[in-house]
Structure 1
Amino acid sequence: MVHSYRDTGGFFEICWNSRGDKLGASGSDGSVCVLDLRR
C-alpha cells in the first residue's frame, strides 16, 4: 500500500497521531494534510 501527497512548497512539520494510523503534515505554503493510513 502506498499513500502519497504532493505539495507546492516543502513540508516543515510531520507527526503521527497517538495510535500510529494517521500522519499529519504542515506545508510551507500554510497547507495542512492528514493522511489516514488505516487499512
Structure 2
Amino acid sequence: MEFIMDHLTLLILLLPAVFAAIVLLLPRGQDNLIRWVAFVL
C-alpha cells in the first residue's frame, strides 16, 4: 500500500508538468485541452 501511495504522490506532482508539455507540444489542441482540464477539475 505504501508503494502505491508513493507513486500516487509522484503522479500528482508530475501531472502539471505533463499538462505543460501537452500545451507546448500541441498548441493547436489548446481549446480541447482546456475542455479536458475543466472536465477533470
Relative to the length of structure 2, the TM-score reads 0.22
Relative to the length of structure 1, the TM-score reads 0.22
Higher helix share: 2
Higher relative CO (Cα under 8 Å, sequence separation at least 6) belongs to 1
